[in-house]
Structure 1
């Protein structure tokens, strides 16, 4: 049977879209094409890509993006804004510490607003696209990007219901259903979750809910229209964690909450839409046109430790923590429109797989921020004036909340459009060459709503990329890649000039192999970026875009099935990320020296998960376990304060009661180790969850 006939046959037999690769063995069936992919199999891509599929995610028992990313040793947690957003670094580099880490959803930029931590309900898989991606995606971090691929509607009826209970008053329910509505023309899918949970943290409770409906309409042969909605609400008390007392992290119990329960939770809402039209122009060419719009809002009060040493009573008596009182109302609107043409043709002795695309991105960030700060300790303020709390014997509600005053009322608007092209050419059976580039034109307008001052900045950038793959054998290949990119900084300097964007360069060399059921990738990389925001040494409270940073390291990822039927997931990373130029930290005002490590980035990290299915007494059982090791990390810039290393062990088991009903049990942090997830300063340290057990019932129909 010819390849074209086989592809056509699969397309008729299964719902969705068939992507034809270079041989019969590389036919991939998907619900909708992914942008920026261009029909190139992941195995032929000159970069390291980690895919967390449903099997890996279910065995790990994760329900939030931050927990899922722990499975990749190259991704480490950063300051999570009191539990209100996702923040991570890939290969040592994070984005703006005052904004959540951006991620993609089906290739659309989607994580830049204030909608709260991302839940995994409705997510089919997570792709961690490491290395130089900017020539396609644009405006990203050089370490890589995270792409969430959602579950697509199917014309085959299916569904599931999941209920989970666990320690610390965890109650969670999930629903997922899909099926046809109008014969083979229209299919819908509805996924959603509700979670009510306590915490190991005193007085901290969270309420989260979300629904993710979607529809797929077949307009004709080779043409489909899809729509997805995201609607979530999260109510989470703002929690900066614990404080270090004279450098001792465990001087306080991990449960100690140092905010005010009376502040109530912060509320984070997100409402997003995605619309995509896919049309196959021929067997070899396809057009993908799409648009997305996402509105997010974060609002509420919080009581947080004061970081300025001159205002902090804790440094005087060792127990009275001076606090700020804050009110935030952050709103963000993010819109994307894009069109992409992808295809393949033979010319000049090679098979060309081409992507041509254009997009327009708008991001409006409105911040209204009120703040009270305690006075200088040199003025001998009273406990009430310092809004203090006794860290060893806290009395919540001891003082009435102080009156905050206006700190920020501004609107930052970014508009950018870009065009990109990529051509990956296969010459014979062994060598592939990728050439690509992206041109971006962008403009940022910052409006100070207090004094009416408006500043504008515009520029354009070209981001090239080049990569090569050499196939040593059908099961092994080596590759090399180089790319450049940029990310626009928000805000302006003391003279009202909008900051220059961060610029980056990255290079990586890698080996990919697929032997005996195991897929492995070994990568060596080096990254650098400039125009990182730092404090202005002359104008207090302002920043300059003059910082520089470097990161280099080695990664190893292995997944698949070992002899004996053991499913294995292994990820290891050695990363050396450091400052390359003396600067002043924009947040603390402390001097950072060249060679100082970047915050929250361990030199070594490891994630291991293994499981095996079998029968015990006639019952189908899966038994498994996992280990996560994170090395020592710098916990505060321009200091010697460190977070200790930790090693967490997880055990889990699944019992298939029937072909449709599964009962799962898990114990996280089996040895009840004290650990710390991330920090921003020695007074803002997030403790990790102690030992916790959970029970999950999942019914599929």
Structure 2
């Protein structure tokens, strides 16, 4: 297997090198102004808007590692949803995606609550919680991977880092784009993006998509649609108001993937579906509203006030493989129905400014926010004699049984926080950053089935410290320390809430620019320690306690930008050593997990490389290139020795602008038709990767 992967990597490298060399020899002319303008159509933003919690800092003077995945990189990578976008950052590893119904990821080795989607931000708002399905990128301008704990500003978050999505907002120009795509497995998709002005001070934008697709998985068919209309009002030269709506509706069959028989993968085809098509698809819906008001008092001081409300739901039934062994070719299953509803609303206000005190320059962010997350779950389950032959499945062999009560509860988390961050310039080259956030939160778990209520009240201070030294305009050195916490859902044996999950992080690195600023890179080393992980404290009663400990440490390398005239490079590599620190019982299966065990779905090595060439052909822009993703072996079943094998997949694309309005794009994913597995929860819930597939798109700009 490894020799075969090495051959494929060598073959791909030779292929890209040949293409690049031939292109450089065939066309050394400069790109025309019209071609350059057409490439930038998706990069225009509302003039003067700022990101919440961020302040005004250049990358070289920010004492933490960050990676900005812009629209052009996302397009070249063929990324249509958040999971595909995050593959570009090797600091992020895919986790169990709940049968394809949400985004779940680990940053620097650590994941959040495995029973909820991974949290992410949208324009600085907490928005990832809830059950709205996998996040589509149609309304997203860029994806920011903000590494390290950010609780000192953002509040409660994931321990390894924060993902922030920057949305497409109105511009004060009139332009639009329509794209139609067709691909493998009868995949059809349409995208629309249109922005215009209603007056000199008001602009609107409408972004929407519709997708109908079958799959390489037997019987699986999905339908997705969504829209993101927005309006921007430039009240004055100093004030701006923006409103955005988020709507999506998805119909996605619940698909736990394939199984490993006696620990061996590949004994059944990756297309084999082991659920019941008669259950129909799960329905995931989102309706969200986001408002922001920004006022610039002068060139040094600015205020930002915002509000976000997001309502999500997930409902339907699913038949899933159980955790027993395959006997005579058959495995048992259980059937569950879910009726999940979640609402999340956030208010925030912040003030940013620059001032001088005692001869030192201060750049300060100060503010407050509040949020409320309500998670309502009704969950029914039935076990029994629901066998399926994994080698020769017969769907509909049993009448679909009616599930009985299992979970009926609503959990509410409320928080109010205040935060401050000050970056002080001690010299022209040396800055220090000091910050802290105070959170007061309440947690209530209303178990309607047992008619009990558990409450938890906590107050936490999350500090951060950083130092950055700019040795020159092209190089800076930095170090940072931060703390982070995250509430845990559920209650212990006595009906009380759990102590929140706590993590600390240290990192140090170097940031640099090359090629006259065309390339930007970061090399970082990090260490993250986590405690109060939810585990089993009594294997017989199977009650839980927050007593688990783990650590993650490693090194990251990111480099992106213009390698040479007409060549764009994206390179990301991460080494992570993520393991448990103490022995405990796994909260899902009760297996003993020894100290030093690898964490689930975390590869030691990940590499993503992408190279794009731009040239002029007959006066029009031609772009082509390829990329490769390598993921090493991973623990596939916590508490056991089952591992997912490493894999290497490659892609290639070509895009040609026929004229100023029309372009054609063709792309192939999994170029060498690799059989691979992206994540698992256990040896019977394993998500296979997609075989070789293609997509052809036509885009009309107007």
Q: How does 1:361-400 map to 2 (within 5 A)?
A: 361-374=371-384, 386-400=385-399
**Is residue 684 from structure 1 mapped to residue 685 from structure 2 by the alignment?**
yes
Structure 1 distance, partners of 2:420, 2:546, is 30
Contact 1:504 1:530 in 2 (8 A): yes
- Structure 1 residue 328: Cα displacement: 0.3
Deviation at 1:614, TM superposition (A): 1.3
Q: Pick one of 224, 236, 257 that aligns with 2:273.
A: 257
Deviates more, 1:494-503 or 1:346-355: 346-355
| C-alpha distance in structure 1 between counterparts of 2:279 and 2:223, whole Å | 16
Q: Quick one: which of 339, 344, 349 aligns to 2:354? A: 344
- In structure 1, the residue matched to 2:96 is 79
Give the structure 1 partner of residue 330 of structure 2: 320
Q: Is the CA contact 1:440–1:462 (under 8 Å) kept in the aligned structure 2?
A: yes
Q: Does 1:176 align with 2:177?
A: no
- Does the 8 Å CA contact 2:602/2:634 hold for their aligned counterparts? yes
Q: Contact 2:420/2:435 (CA < 8 Å) preserved in 1?
A: yes
Query: What's the offset of the Cα at 1:404?
Result: 1.1
1:29 Cα shift? 7.8
Contact 1:225 / 1:278 at 8 angstroms: preserved in 2?
yes
Report the Cα distance in structure 2 between the residues aligned to 1:271 and 1:315, rounded to whole angstroms. 42
* CA offset digits 1:557-608 (Å, max 9, x no partner): 0011113431100000000000111111111111111100000000000000
How far residue 620 of structure 1 moved from its aligned partner, in angstroms, is 2.9
CA distance in 1, matches of 2:61, 2:618: 44
Residue 244 of structure 2 is aligned to residue 240 of structure 1: no
Aligned mates of 1:346, 1:662 — CA distance in 2: 52
Equivalent runs, 1:197-596 vs 2, <5 Å: 197-307=213-323, 312=324, 314-317=325-328, 319-374=329-384, 386-516=385-515, 517-538=518-539, 540-596=541-597
| Matched-pair contact (CA < 8 Å) for 2:46–2:169 | no
Cα drift, residue 56 of structure 1: 0.2
The CA deviation at 1:283 is 2.0
Mapped to 2, the partners of 1:128 and 1:148 lie a distance apart of: 9
* Corresponding position of 1:22: none
Aligned to 1:128, which of 136, 145, 153? 145
- Separation in structure 1 between the aligned mates of residue 299 and residue 186 of structure 2, nearest angstrom: 54
SS in 1 for 2:547: strand
The answer to whether structure 1 residue 620 and structure 2 residue 621 are counterparts is: yes
Q: CA deviation at 1:184?
A: 1.4
SS in 2 for 1:270: strand
- Counterpart of 2:637? 636
SS at 2:134 equivalent: coil
After superposition, the C-alpha distances for 1:482-510 in whole angstroms (9 at most, x for unaligned) are 00010000010111011110011000001
User: Is this contact kept in 1: 2:60–2:470, CA < 8 A?
Assistant: no
> Which of 167, 179, 196 in structure 1 is aligned with 2:184?
167
Write the deviation string for residues 245-264 of structure 1: whole angstroms up to 9, x where unpaired: 11111001000000000000
Q: Distance in 1 between matches of 2:341 and 2:584?
A: 31
Query: Which residue of 90, 105, 114 maps to 1:88?
Result: 105
Contact 2:60–2:475 under 8 Å retained in 1:
no
Partner of 1:5: none
Conserved? CA contact 2:573–2:605, under 8 Å = yes
Contact 2:46–2:172 (Cα < 8 Å) also in 1: no
SS of 2:235's equivalent? strand
Q: Tell me, what secondary structure is at the counterpart of 2:154?
A: coil
Q: Distance in 2 between matches of 1:208 and 1:684?
A: 24
* Cα distance in 2 for residues equivalent to 1:515 and 1:619: 29
Considering only aligned residues, what root-mean-square deviation do their CA atoms show, in Å? 1.2
* SS class of match (1:316): coil
How big is each residue's C-alpha offset from its partner over 1:149-183, in whole Å with a ceiling of 9 and x where there is no partner?
001111111111111110011100000011111x2
SS at match of 1:68: helix
**Inter-partner Cα distance in structure 2 for 1:633 and 1:450:** 38
Task: Give me the whole-angstrom Cα distance separating, in 2, the residues matched to 1:251 and 1:402.
Answer: 29
8 Å Cα contact 1:363-1:414 kept in structure 2: yes
Q: Distance in 1 between matches of 2:597 and 2:526?
A: 19
Aligned counterparts of 2:680 and 2:96: Cα–Cα separation in 1 = 6
Task: Give a deviation string over 1:620-669, Cα, whole Å, max 9, x none.
Answer: 32110000000000000011100000000101001111122111100000
SS of residue matched to 2:83? helix
Q: Which residue of 1 aligns with 2:660?
A: 659
Q: Is the 8 A contact 1:40 1:353 kept in 2?
A: no
8 Å contact 1:52–1:127 — kept in the other structure? yes
Note the residue ranges of structure 2 that are not aligned, 5 or more in a row: 1-44
Moved more, 540-549 or 87-96: 540-549
Q: Deviations along 1:176-234, whole A, 9 cap, x unmatched?
A: 011111x2111111001000000000000000000100001122231111100001000
What residue number does 1:59 align with? 76
C-alpha offsets along residues 76-98 of structure 1, whole Å, 9 cap, x if unaligned? 10000000000000000000100
Q: Secondary structure at the match of 1:251?
A: coil
TM-score, with structure 2 as normaliser:
0.92
State the distance in 2 between where 1:373 and 1:497 align: 29
Give how far 1:30 is off. Answer: 4.6
Q: Is 1:607 paired with 2:617?
A: no
What SS class does the counterpart of residue 552 from structure 1 fall into?
strand
Counterpart CA distance in 2 for 1:132 and 1:112 is 18
Answer yes or no: is the 8 Å Cα contact 2:149–2:157 preserved in 1.
no
Aligned partner of residue 357 in structure 1, secondary structure: strand
SS of corresponding position for 1:458: strand
Whether the 8 Å CA contact 2:221–2:252 is kept in 1: the answer is yes
1:320-345: CA deviation from partner (whole Å, max 9, x where unpaired): 11001000001101010010000001
Partner Cα separation in structure 2 for residue 602 and residue 669 of structure 1:
19
Q: What is the deviation of 1:41?
A: 2.0
- What is the aligned length? 656
Q: Distance in 1 between matches of 2:46 and 2:441?
A: 37
